[in-house]
Amino acid sequence: MTETGSTPVAEANPEANAEAPPAEEKKKLKQSVDIKDVGPCKKHIKVTIQRDDIDASFEKKYKELVGDAWVPGFRPGKAPKVIVQRKFRKDVHDQVKGEILLASLEQLAEEFDVAPLTAPNLNATALKIPEKGDFIYEFEVEVRPHFDLPEYKGLKLKKPVRTFTDADVDEEQKRLMSEDGQLVPMDAPADKGDFVICDMVTTFSGEKVGEAKEITLRIEDTMTFKDGVAQKFGEQMVGAKAGETRTVDISMTDAVADARLRGQTVQAAVTVKDVKRLRLPEIDEVFLEKYDCKTLDEFRERILLVLQRRLEYSQRQSAREQVLNLITASATWELPQDLLMRQARKTLARREMEMREAGINDEEITARRRMLERDVLSSTASALKEHFVLQKIAEAEKVALEQHEIDEEIERIAMQYGEMPRRIRAQFERDDLMETLAAQLIERKALNLILQSAEYEEVTIGKEGGMGTAEAQAVQGELHDPTAAPPEQKLADEPPPA
């Protein structure tokens, strides 16, 4: 696709003149713009600025200098124009180039629907205005994809619901108490929630690719290693006794050290050396004080609130997935790999923020993050499409974000973690997450608008499976950071030289 347009000299606009004095009108450059698609979400832009505007800018600068410049051998303001031009040629060239380039880019943004995602790869320092002829510059830039919004109001959604029982509260209570529990040996088969001390040897197609000694694993439905996820861990390990070896399937994430194993499934031979069970602590005043509770009933009420918050998080995530599946069904546009790599870290950071807001504990956040890292580019692509759609809805609905909303969100996060707001703000700024936080708040407001107009059908769901984390690697070697941009791409994030 090629978009071509030319910008004529600004003509008098009677209506504009009536609203603002002519002196404040900004004269437009005479420039032609050629825009071509050169890849997914990437455009090549060529701008040609006519010589008349360039000469006028030089003439204006030299006229100012002739009146003000001091040249040896001449009284101030009395030096001949030709001498002033020769002495200040380079400085004037750089000033004119900077002013024209800035005005041209601003005019380009006003007149063409080009929404850049990153700074253009435009090296202003290397550009030179020719002695004769038009000034031409060109660059490539990543842009937000163009798409039409489908109907997003009045959607029919399914809402997962669940009534929490005393048994659910008991289970969550045990989980919280286990943080202060003591492991004791058990001469019995391992059950859900027990710990196994074990050795692990990992193979792929008969080849040994990893080994870990004396690792401690808690038997949960799912186990997340640093580089892989065992989704049937509980099913494959329950009932194991000391001295017994069980085979566990582990799906490798993009973090695995061996690149050929990314997305592959390896087999881990887990040899149980010991089975241990948690001896839970007494629920006394000291224990309750840790959770700011005075009685057991108050403690259990707080647990119920946590369970409800987590259900609300699940409901919101479910609604979000359904909404995006419906309104991005026609979003067949591709996203460039380098953009996905650069955005992966921010995407995971945003998901982590959302989980913290839902009161999910650090261990489960780590587990869920590893689940997302199984195919980080795919999850980032989905998140970016969601981001573009919600941002466009926010623009259509004129959703705005006030500074006080950011401040209030930081205060809420600080309160949740018992920190000072200024420390949370400093951490967000240090980790370059303030823009991420603002985008998340805008998208939350846009999503709320969609959800408020939706029609819901309640669907009862069962208990979520437990997830455990292990600090062991299934495959030996140095872990790969799946969110790190390739070295040659890091420069793309830096602003162009002034």
pLDDT tens, residue by residue, 425-465: 998 898 888 888 898 899 889 989 998 999 999 999 888 78
Local confidence band at 483 (pLDDT 50, 70, 90 cut-offs): low
Look at phi and psi of residue 426 and say left if phi exceeds 0, alpha if psi is from -120 to 50, else beta.
Answer: alpha
Beta bridge pairs of residue 104: none
272 HSE (CA, 13 A, CB side): 29
Q: If you average pLDDT over residues 323-331, what whole number do you get?
A: 74
Local confidence band at 480 (pLDDT 50, 70, 90 cut-offs): confident
Give the pLDDT score at 248: 97
Contact 279, 253 (CB under 8 A): no
Kindly report the CATH class assigned to 156-164+296-462: mainly alpha
- Rounded Cα distance between 236 and 393, Å, is 45
Where in the chain do CATH 1.10.3120 domains reside? 156-164+296-462
- Highest mean pLDDT: which range of 60-69, 359-368, 370-379, 421-430: 421-430
Closest to 229 (Cα-Cα) out of 450, 470, 484, 436 = 470
Contact 30, 52 (CB under 8 A): yes
- Rounded Cα distance between 21 and 29, Å, is 20
414 HSE (CA, 13 A, CB side): 16
Give kind and range of the element (H or E) at residue 368: helix 362-372
Q: If you average pLDDT over residues 205-233, what whole number do you get?
A: 94
Percent of the chain with pLDDT over 70: 85
Is the per-residue pLDDT at 374 higher than 80? no
Give the pLDDT score at 69: 56
Q: Which amino acid, 96?
A: V
How high does pLDDT run on average in the chain?
A: 82
Tokens standing for 334? 């591709």
Closest to 103 (Cα-Cα) out of 28, 22, 6 = 28
Range scoring the smallest mean pLDDT among 182-186, 214-218, 387-391: 387-391
Give the pLDDT score at 327: 73
- Rounded Cα distance between 225 and 211, Å, is 13
Range scoring the smallest mean pLDDT among 12-21, 149-158, 309-318, 412-421: 12-21
Q: If you average pLDDT over residues 244-261, what whole number do you get?
A: 93
Helix, strand, coil content of the chain in percent (nearest 5)? 45, 20, 35
Local confidence band at 323 (pLDDT 50, 70, 90 cut-offs): confident
pLDDT tens, residue by residue, 40-65: 888 899 999 999 999 998 888 777 76
Strand (E) positions, 134-290? 135-142, 156-161, 182-185, 195-204, 207-218, 222-224, 228-230, 245-252, 265-279
The answer as to CATH 3.10.129.10 being correct for domain 2-142 is no
293 CB contacts (<8 Å, ≥6 apart)? 299, 302
- Fold annotation for 182-279+466-482: Chitinase A; domain 3 (3.10.50)
- Rounded Cα distance between 377 and 382, Å, is 9
Query: What backbone torsions phi and psi does residue 238 show, to the nearest 5 degrees?
Result: -60, 135
Q: Alpha carbon of 298 to those of 169, 301, 360, 439: distances in Å?
A: 12, 5, 20, 37
Where in the chain do CATH 3.10.50.40 domains reside? 182-279+466-482
- Rounded Cα distance between 209 and 202, Å, is 6
Is the per-residue pLDDT at 3 higher than 50? no
Where in the chain do CATH 3.30.70.1050 domains reside? 2-142
Give the pLDDT score at 367: 79
pLDDT tens, residue by residue, 64-80: 765 555 555 555 555 56
Contact 234, 222 (CB under 8 A): yes
Greatest Cα pair distance, the chain, in angstroms, is 103
Closest to 377 (Cα-Cα) out of 217, 273, 254 = 254
Is the per-residue pLDDT at 477 higher than 70? yes
Is the per-residue pLDDT at 287 higher than 80? yes
pLDDT tens, residue by residue, 131-154: 899 999 999 988 888 788 888 899
> pTM here?
0.59
- Rounded Cα distance between 310 and 171, Å, is 14
pLDDT tens, residue by residue, 82-124: 665 666 678 888 888 999 999 999 899 888 878 787 778 888 8
Residues in the chain: 498
Give the pLDDT score at 490: 45
